[in-house]
Amino acid sequence: MDKTEFLAELRTQIATRAPEELRRTVSYFEEIIDDRIEDGMSETEAVATLETPAQIAESLAGIQTAHNPNSYDAAELHTINIRDLNCPVFIVPRSDSVYIEYHSHEKKRYDVDCSNGVLDVMAVSSMKWYDYIGFGRGNTTYRPFVLGVPESFCGRINIVTSNCDASVSDVKFSGGLNIKTSNAKMTFRNLKISGEISAHTSNGKVVAQFVECGLFDAENSNGRIEATHISCDTELSLATSNGRVEIQHIKAGKRIALHSSNGRIYGVIDDNMREFSVRSHTSNGSNSLPGDMPGGNKDLEVSTSNGSIEIRFAPN
Amino acid sequence: MDIQLKRGLLETCVLAAIADCDSYGYKIIKDLSGVVEISESTLYPILKRLESGGYLRVFTEEHNSRLRKYYAITKQGLERIPAFLAEWEEVARVVNYIKTNSEGGDKNG
C-alpha cells in the first residue's frame, strides 16, 4: 500500500466522523508518513509499519473489546444454545469442561444464562449497517466465538451465526450438533459425534473431512459441498444448488442423498452398488447411475439438473 | 494497566516531551519510544484532549514545502507536570506499602 492508498482507505474507515475531524485525522497521518519518509524510510515501509487504517479507525472510535472466557461443568449441561451474528464460530476440543470465549464491546453484548442444564448465549448488537462498512470499524466484529467441547459432554449443541465462517474440528461427544450460518464457509474436520450433525449455510462452501456420526445433513445454496471420509450410522444427505457435490469415501447405514441443481455430482461411495435401491436423475448431463433400480437394503438418491452424475462404488 | 492510570501517564509523557521545545507528532512518538510504547493512533486523541483542555496549543508551520503541525506547551500544561508528580508520590507510597506487605511479612524488604 502506498501513501495515497493508505489515506484513501483511512478516509473510508472513518467516513462517519464529522468532516472537519475527518480532515484533521487524515492530515495528521499524512504528516506522520511524510515525516517517516523524511527520516529515511521508503514510502511503502512508512505505511507498512503503521497500524492498518482499520486498526486506526477502531482505536480512534474508542471501541474497547472485552474478552470473556467462561467454563461450565460438562456433566451439568445437556443443551448449549448459541446465537451470534456477524461473528465467526469455532468449535474446538476441550479436555475438561465446556468453554466459551467471546468478545463484547460497546455495541455488542452477550446475554449468558445457564440454568436447568441449558447454557444460552445470545449476542445483542446495536451495530448499524454503517458500522460494518470497510470491515466494520476494524476487526471488532470479526473476533471469533469459541466453543470448547469436552468428550464428556452429552447433549445437543445449537449454533446460529451469520455472514461468517463456522468451523468444527477435532471434537468428540455424544449427542447432536445443529449449526447455521449464511454467506460463509463451513468446515467439519475429524469429528466423532454419536448423533446428528445438521449444517446450513448459503453462498459459501461446505467442507467435511473424516467425520463419523449418526446422521449428517448439510444444506447449502450457491456453494459447493465437499465430503471426504464420512461415515454415518444412518443417513448422509448433501444438498446444494448452483454448486457441485463432491464425495470421496462416504458411507451410510441406511440412506445417501446427494442433490444439486446446476452442479455436477461425483466421487466414490465406499460400498457395493447392490446394497442400494438407486434413484437418480439429471436433465442435462451424463449419468453413471441407473435411473431407478430397486432391490437394495439402503437408499441412494442422486439428482441434479444441468450437471453430470459420476458416482463410483468402491466396497472395502 | 488501569486505563485511567495509563491515560494520565501518557498525557504527562506527551507534555514532558514538548516541555523543553515545541515538537511535532512523529518526533513526539520517536522521543517517547524508549520510555513508553505509543502508537500514532494513541497519540492523536491524547493531543486532542490536551489541546481542548488548554494544556498545549497547536500551530502550523511550513517545513520542506509542506505543512507540519507543531505542539507547544502552555502555562497550564507546564503546571500540570509537577501536579502529576505530586500525585504520583502518593501512588508510589501505596505501591511501596503493597510491596512490603506482600513479601511474606518482611516489612523491611
Most confident of A123-137, A199-213, B5-19, B37-51: A199-213
The CA-based angle A121-A124-A129, given to 5 degrees, is: 140
Based on the domain organization, do A117 and A191 belong to the same domain? yes
**Could you say which of B39, B41, B69 has the minimum Cβ distance to residue A31?**
B69
**Average pLDDT score over residue span A250-277:** 95
- Running DSSP on this structure, what letter comes out for residue A144? P
Q: What is the pLDDT at residue B45? A: 86
Average pLDDT value over all residues in chain A: 89
A46 contacts chain B (CB < 8 A): no
B60 contacts chain A (CB < 8 A): no
Asked if pLDDT for residue B81 goes beyond 60, the answer is: yes
**Average pLDDT score over residue span A35-45:** 94
**Average pLDDT score over residue span A44-49:** 92
> Which of A140, A125, A164, A136 is CA-nearest to residue A13?
A136
Phi, psi for A306 (deg, rounded to 5): 55, 45
* Interacting residues of B61 by C-beta distance below 8 A, sequence separation 6+: B67, B68, B70
Based on the domain organization, do A138 and A238 belong to the same domain? yes
Asked if pLDDT for residue B59 goes beyond 70, the answer is: yes
Q: Is A41 helix (H, G, I), strand (E, B) or coil?
A: coil
Q: What is the pLDDT at residue A82? A: 95
Chain B: residue whose CA lies nearest to A29: B40
- Least confident range from A191-195, A251-255, B77-81: namely B77-81
**Looking at this protein, which amino acid is placed at residue B22?**
D
Q: Using one digit for the tens of pLDDT, what is the confidence trace for A49-58?
A: 899 998 888 7
Examine residue B76 and state whether it is found in any structural domain, yes or no. yes
Distance CA A42, CA B58 (A): 28
Query: Is residue A315 classed exposed, middle or buried when 0-12, 13-18 and 19+ CB atoms within 10 A define those classes?
Result: exposed
Examine residue B52 and state whether it is found in any structural domain, yes or no. yes
B27 chain-A contacts, CB cut-off 8 A: 35
Whether the CB-CB separation of A232 and A213 falls below 8 Å is answered with yes
Q: Do B25 and A28 touch (CB under 8 A)?
A: yes
Q: What is the pLDDT at residue B9? A: 84
Q: What is the pLDDT at residue A128? A: 57
**Looking at this protein, which amino acid is placed at residue A32?**
I
**Average pLDDT score over residue span A289-303:** 95
Kindly report the number of other CB atoms within 10 A of residue A281's CB atom: 15
Residue B109, min C-alpha distance to chain A (Å): 36
Whether the CB-CB separation of A309 and A259 falls below 8 Å is answered with no
% chain A with pLDDT above 90:
71
Distance CA A167, CA A189 (A): 8
Examine residue B50 and state whether it is found in any structural domain, yes or no. yes
B68 contacts chain A (CB < 8 A): yes
Q: Do B26 and A36 touch (CB under 8 A)?
A: yes
Residue that terminates a domain, selected from A27, A43, A61:
A61
Strand pairing partners for A215?
Answer: A196, A235
Range of the domain at A50: 3-61
**For A172-178, which contacts have Cβ atoms below 8 Å and span 24 or more sequence positions?**
A172/A93, A173/A149, A176/A214, A177/A91
- Which alpha helices (H) appear in chain A, and where do they start and end? 3-13, 19-38, 43-48, 53-61, 133-137
**Looking at this protein, which amino acid is placed at residue A153?**
F
Examine residue B67 and state whether it is found in any structural domain, yes or no. yes
Q: Which helix (H) or strand (E) holds A199?
A: strand A186-200
Q: What is the pLDDT at residue A263? A: 92
A35 chain-B contacts, CB cut-off 8 A: 24-27, 68
- Which alpha helices (H) appear in B62-108, and where do they start and end? 75-102
Based on the domain organization, do A97 and A151 belong to the same domain? yes
A239 contacts chain B (CB < 8 A): no
B57 contacts chain A (CB < 8 A): no
| pLDDT category of residue A79 using cuts at 50, 70 and 90 | very high
Number of helices (H), then strands (E), in chain A = 5, 20
Examine residue B108 and state whether it is found in any structural domain, yes or no. no
Q: What is the pLDDT at residue A138? A: 40
Kindly report the number of other CB atoms within 10 A of residue A293's CB atom: 15
Q: Do B26 and A51 touch (CB under 8 A)?
A: no
**Average pLDDT score over residue span B88-99:** 87
Distance CA A273, CA B43 (A): 70
Q: Do A35 and B27 touch (CB under 8 A)?
A: yes
C-alpha cell at B14: 506527551
Based on the domain organization, do A304 and A195 belong to the same domain? yes
Q: Is B15 helix (H, G, I), strand (E, B) or coil?
A: helix
Total domains present in chain B: 1
**Average pLDDT score over residue span A292-314:** 94
Q: Using one digit for the tens of pLDDT, what is the confidence trace for A185-212?
A: 999 999 999 999 999 998 889 999 999 9
Residue B49, min C-alpha distance to chain A (Å): 13
B7 contacts chain A (CB < 8 A): no
Whether the CB-CB separation of A78 and A117 falls below 8 Å is answered with yes
Asked if pLDDT for residue A130 goes beyond 60, the answer is: no
User: Among all chains, which residue has been given the C-alpha cell 503493597?
Assistant: B98
| pLDDT category of residue A316 using cuts at 50, 70 and 90 | confident
**Could you say which of A28, A35, A55 has the minimum Cβ distance to residue B44?**
A28
The CA-based angle A203-A206-A207, given to 5 degrees, is: 150
Based on the domain organization, do A42 and A111 belong to the same domain? no
**Could you say which of A29, A35, A59 has the minimum Cβ distance to residue B42?**
A59
Examine residue B107 and state whether it is found in any structural domain, yes or no. no
**Could you say which of A34, A38, A51 has the minimum Cβ distance to residue B41?**
A51
CATH number at residue A231: 2.160.20
How many residues does this entry show for chain B? Answer: 109
Chain B: residue whose CA lies nearest to A57: B41
**Could you say which of B41, B45, B68 has the minimum Cβ distance to residue A31?**
B68
CATH number at residue B79: 1.10.10.10
Range of the domain at B59: 3-102
Total domains present in chain A: 2
**For A220-223, which contacts have Cβ atoms below 8 Å and span 24 or more sequence positions?**
A220/A186, A223/A185
Q: Using one digit for the tens of pLDDT, what is the confidence trace for A163-187?
A: 889 999 999 999 999 999 988 899 9
Based on the domain organization, do A99 and A27 belong to the same domain? no
